[in-house]
Chains A and B, each alone.
Chain A
């Protein structure tokens, strides 16, 4: 359990750095409930001004199911207290597993008037990213005890794995002189 204040994290910058990849597009997203016009598309459209609005009972769930067991290193959630007030989630539980009947909570975060990206690193006991088929992001309570929640963006990051082949480790050179000859395009 950790208290999070949205700091100036920027998932895009990390993607550009080339170490991680956004893998949300490889997954199937579903929601426990949503208002028409405020669903998965708005959650995944790379725009901070559109949002998902739930329309049911707490906890509100976002289910992310992958086709392959995927390594996850971070989850980023964009929320904004100034715009959403009572719709802003205040406690989020992250559960992972293989399918709906086989998930476990691994992380609970508490937000306090967040405004921007919230970063949730995902680690197992040995401090390594986990490999899962399914992630479930559950909003268990909102600010000011609101019933429904707004979530504006979610991004899932997976590390770009260097393959275990010893030689291929060396295909990521640091200088241009060697990197330009590393491959044929």
Chain B
């Protein structure tokens, strides 16, 4: 043991600083010396982080006596290498033949939640939906911070309840969520101590804190030494107690022997080491120097407290109803004040720590005491009263997300000057400090839970395609969270599912401007641009992404969409195939490839693509729709209807799907049903021009000319430039016998669109002159070189005096 410790510390040090090559080398040497479980785990971790997953897999294989963490790591390697059966076996190893996941918690301890997440993923990949749902739900119960499990639940079609899931009920939960929390609290105290020494900005922590930390407890696992140093942000985060939450990924590394959560010994050690204090209580040395210091700070804090008084009210209402009701112990009131103030991360931390224990002063002045008394139910409307302010209003958990947020928010934090201190409260004792630190953690965790509940509701709505409610909920998020790319992307996605492509594109273009390196959801953006036929923007996007990252399927999907818009379908197919090659588990690539094959009439290949997409994601309604389209092209309408219905069952609000179902029903001669479908579609989406158009056609086909005319006239108002509308009106008039009106409309139609539908129109126009009931529908297959001559040969009625027609139609004479 003694031999290992410094070497292990060195290896973890390397790993924490991303020097994986050295870590691998050192762990190999260590493993050669001491073939223990711990060293094996370290070696495997080093390989895994260095990207040598297969190497890690092979050294961990066949170790039946491996510890829980080794088995977990092996499970992850096997999963990444797509060896799902082995991964599952190793995770459920000591289950005495049963398949249950009940013993996972005892087996894996802290890692249980992650083991469950992995089990869920394996079950999802092996098409055992119920088991996957069960695993993820258990994981979330253990650790509600695991948002990805919630996402997976939504995506697989389950309807988890965010209100129940995102709760922090007891302390055990919290400690499991972020591993060794108490140890991190020490580092919190330590770093604050260090900082006050420096009297510098908080970002300057690493060197002094490091020295102090290395002074004490060489038996502690070195990873904790590293926790404050991980990033410049980490130190202030430590102080805020957020560090523990981010340490979830380090949970694996918690060694059992250092898991002793008793605060006393470690604090004792802390006291021993720094020799310049010379007093058993760490607070004392702070007293002389810091009093004046934190009095001035207190003044500034009060000023800010006044500043943010409005916001705190809503914050408390929205985020901390639980807290304010549950733990209103007097000692804990104070910590909430600095949590609420939050102008900037630094001040918040500092204020929290020093106002923590020290004094009544802050308590008296804090005006937000009354907020505790009246916790209102979280009402979305109050948030809208908040003026747009880029300052962090919510509690400290937002620091977790700062890395995702816009840089401007950081720059606008109020007190850059206040980054100085956090003087250690003079009058605190060790235990109360720990308690308060724990309380702080709980509060910040609770704040995060509050946010996750809101986001969870919105995400759930979106995955059930209740887009309107989802948009509302997303809009009611606090501005600093709202202005993140992820939320904007979700909003864009919501509008996309509603087929409101203009708004969708607006949001996505903002995201792309702010974060041009962001890749997720760009495929949705590109499809929206494809629908809107915005070639330039789409080409630009494709170029940007290709320059950014050629290894992502999303890049190639976007490029394929770009070429498809330019009608170069072969190239588009090539790019979509590339997307599939790059990531065979990305369902949308298959769907897009399928659509391209439909365009090039290779229906069998298209079918196999759609089937692949559906296999990967059964809720991918685009793929079901594609299958329906194939059958509809093959004129197998019953099958088409079935598949469209399946798509509709997933996304019940899409008017496009309803329209297609209606069309197919009409083709099946079930016109009543078709009409009913169109009526539903229009009720869902009254502005949708497509539905009106199809309903008009159905009326015409049924011979209900008056209704058809009414419908089409309305449509003419909505979409004045659509030639097919005029064409259809012309046909109706012709049927009614109004030849002149018919001719007029036909000529307008031709003027609007000389090329596209002219074949049909030409056929219609000629018969309109005299012949009695020609077959208008026979499409003359157009050959391109005829078109230039065609538009010249049809000057029927001079389109002079009608309103509603654009001026440029006169150019087509």
A174 & B757 in contact (Cβ 8 Å cutoff)? yes
A-B contact count (CB 8 A): 132
B755 CB to nearest A CB, Å = 7
B567 within 8 A of A: yes
Do A184 and B625 form a contact, CB below 8 Å, given A176-B532, A178-B693? Answer: yes
B784 & A170 in contact (Cβ 8 Å cutoff)? no
B779 within 8 A of A: yes
B250 within 8 A of A: no
In the complex, chain A residues whose CB is within 8 Å of the CB of B784: 14, 17, 19-20, 74
| Distance in angstroms between the alpha carbons of A82 and B622 in the assembled complex | 52
A57 within 8 A of B: no
Q: Which partner residue on chain B sits nearest A46 by CB separation?
A: B570
B746 CB to nearest A CB, Å = 14
| Distance in angstroms between the alpha carbons of A17 and B788 in the assembled complex | 13
A129 & B654 in contact (Cβ 8 Å cutoff)? no
B722 & A180 in contact (Cβ 8 Å cutoff)? no
| Distance in angstroms between the alpha carbons of A141 and B752 in the assembled complex | 47
B752 & A174 in contact (Cβ 8 Å cutoff)? yes
A174 & B722 in contact (Cβ 8 Å cutoff)? yes
A168 & B632 in contact (Cβ 8 Å cutoff)? yes
B568 & A16 in contact (Cβ 8 Å cutoff)? yes
In the complex, chain B residues whose CB is within 8 Å of the CB of A100: none
B566 CB to nearest A CB, Å = 7
Contact of B719 among A71, A167, A172, A177 (CB under 8 A): A177
Q: Which partner residue on chain B sits nearest A129 by CB separation?
A: B781
| Distance in angstroms between the alpha carbons of A19 and B690 in the assembled complex | 23
| Distance in angstroms between the alpha carbons of A185 and B606 in the assembled complex | 13
A184 & B760 in contact (Cβ 8 Å cutoff)? no
B187 within 8 A of A: no
| Distance in angstroms between the alpha carbons of A74 and B781 in the assembled complex | 12
B783 & A129 in contact (Cβ 8 Å cutoff)? yes
B2 CB to nearest A CB, Å = 64
Do A185 and B531 form a contact, CB below 8 Å, given A163-B633, A164-B779, A173-B722? Answer: yes
B675 CB to nearest A CB, Å = 13
A25 within 8 A of B: yes
Contact of A169 among B532, B568, B722, B779 (CB under 8 A): B779
Contact of A73 among B659, B701, B757, B781 (CB under 8 A): B781
A121 within 8 A of B: yes
B residues 658-716 near A (Cβ < 8 Å) are 659-660, 663, 666-667, 688-690, 693-694, 697, 701
Q: Which among A166, A184, A185 has the greatest number of chain B C-beta atoms within 10 A?
A: A184
B49 within 8 A of A: no
In the complex, chain B residues whose CB is within 8 Å of the CB of A121: 783, 785
In the complex, chain A residues whose CB is within 8 Å of the CB of B530: 185
Q: Which among A22, A161, A169 has the greatest number of chain B C-beta atoms within 10 A?
A: A169
A18 CB to nearest B CB, Å = 5
A180 & B785 in contact (Cβ 8 Å cutoff)? no
In the complex, chain A residues whose CB is within 8 Å of the CB of B719: 175, 177-178
In the complex, chain A residues whose CB is within 8 Å of the CB of B755: 17, 19
| Distance in angstroms between the alpha carbons of A168 and B756 in the assembled complex | 14
| Distance in angstroms between the alpha carbons of A109 and B285 in the assembled complex | 104
**Per-position binary interface string of chain A over residues 141-185, scored 1 when its CB falls under 8 Å from any chain B CB and 0 otherwise:** 000000000000000000101111111111011111111111111
A residues 17-44 near B (Cβ < 8 Å) are 17-22, 25
A84 within 8 A of B: no
Contact of A183 among B600, B656, B693 (CB under 8 A): B656
Contact of A181 among B656, B666, B757 (CB under 8 A): B656
B777 & A169 in contact (Cβ 8 Å cutoff)? yes
**Per-position binary interface string of chain A over residues 50-78, scored 1 when its CB falls under 8 Å from any chain B CB and 0 otherwise:** 00000000000000000000010110000
Contact of B781 among A16, A119, A159, A180 (CB under 8 A): A159
A128 within 8 A of B: yes
In the complex, chain B residues whose CB is within 8 Å of the CB of A73: 781, 783
B724 & A170 in contact (Cβ 8 Å cutoff)? yes
Contact of B779 among A162, A181, A183, A184 (CB under 8 A): A162
In the complex, chain B residues whose CB is within 8 Å of the CB of A20: 783-784
B residues 321-347 near A (Cβ < 8 Å) are none
| Distance in angstroms between the alpha carbons of A185 and B759 in the assembled complex | 27
In the complex, chain B residues whose CB is within 8 Å of the CB of A169: 760, 777, 779
A85 within 8 A of B: no
B5 within 8 A of A: no
A95 CB to nearest B CB, Å = 20
A178 & B783 in contact (Cβ 8 Å cutoff)? no
B667 & A167 in contact (Cβ 8 Å cutoff)? yes
In the complex, chain B residues whose CB is within 8 Å of the CB of A25: 570
In the complex, chain A residues whose CB is within 8 Å of the CB of B633: 163, 168
Q: Which partner residue on chain B sits nearest A162 by CB separation?
A: B779
B532 & A170 in contact (Cβ 8 Å cutoff)? no
B781 & A71 in contact (Cβ 8 Å cutoff)? yes
B752 & A16 in contact (Cβ 8 Å cutoff)? no
Q: Which among A15, A121, A129, A173 has the greatest number of chain B C-beta atoms within 10 A?
A: A173
| Distance in angstroms between the alpha carbons of A180 and B752 in the assembled complex | 18
A84 CB to nearest B CB, Å = 26
In the complex, chain B residues whose CB is within 8 Å of the CB of A16: 566-568
Q: Which partner residue on chain A sits nearest B720 by CB separation?
A: A175
Q: Which among A17, A74, A163, A177 has the greatest number of chain B C-beta atoms within 10 A?
A: A177
B592 CB to nearest A CB, Å = 7
Do A21 and B600 form a contact, CB below 8 Å, given A175-B721, A184-B654? Answer: yes
| Distance in angstroms between the alpha carbons of A51 and B693 in the assembled complex | 51
B780 within 8 A of A: yes
B656 & A184 in contact (Cβ 8 Å cutoff)? yes
In the complex, chain B residues whose CB is within 8 Å of the CB of A176: 532-533
B779 & A166 in contact (Cβ 8 Å cutoff)? no
A167 & B781 in contact (Cβ 8 Å cutoff)? no
Q: Which partner residue on chain B sits nearest A22 by CB separation?
A: B570
| Distance in angstroms between the alpha carbons of A178 and B726 in the assembled complex | 13
B701 & A18 in contact (Cβ 8 Å cutoff)? no
Do A172 and B783 form a contact, CB below 8 Å, given A21-B600, A167-B667? Answer: no
| Distance in angstroms between the alpha carbons of A53 and B174 in the assembled complex | 77
A128 & B663 in contact (Cβ 8 Å cutoff)? no
A184 & B568 in contact (Cβ 8 Å cutoff)? no
A175 & B779 in contact (Cβ 8 Å cutoff)? no
A181 & B667 in contact (Cβ 8 Å cutoff)? no
A166 & B622 in contact (Cβ 8 Å cutoff)? no
| Distance in angstroms between the alpha carbons of A169 and B723 in the assembled complex | 13
In the complex, chain A residues whose CB is within 8 Å of the CB of B660: 183
B653 within 8 A of A: no
Q: Can you identify 29 A-B contacts, CB atoms within 8 angstroms?
A: A15-B567, A19-B755, A19-B784, A20-B784, A25-B570, A71-B781, A73-B781, A119-B785, A121-B783, A129-B783, A159-B783, A163-B635, A167-B663, A167-B667, A170-B728, A172-B757, A174-B722, A175-B719, A177-B718, A179-B533, A180-B531, A181-B655, A181-B690, A183-B629, A183-B660, A184-B621, A184-B654, A184-B657, A185-B595
Interfacial residues, chain A to chain B (CB-CB below 8 A) = 14-22, 25, 71, 73-74, 119, 121, 123, 128-129, 159, 161-170, 172-185
Having A121-B783, A185-B591, one finds 14 other A-B pairs with CB under 8 Å, namely A14-B784, A15-B567, A16-B566, A17-B784, A161-B779, A166-B697, A166-B777, A168-B632, A169-B760, A173-B722, A178-B693, A181-B655, A182-B656, A183-B656
Nearest 4 pairs of A and B residues by beta carbon: A174-B753, A180-B531, A159-B781, A181-B690
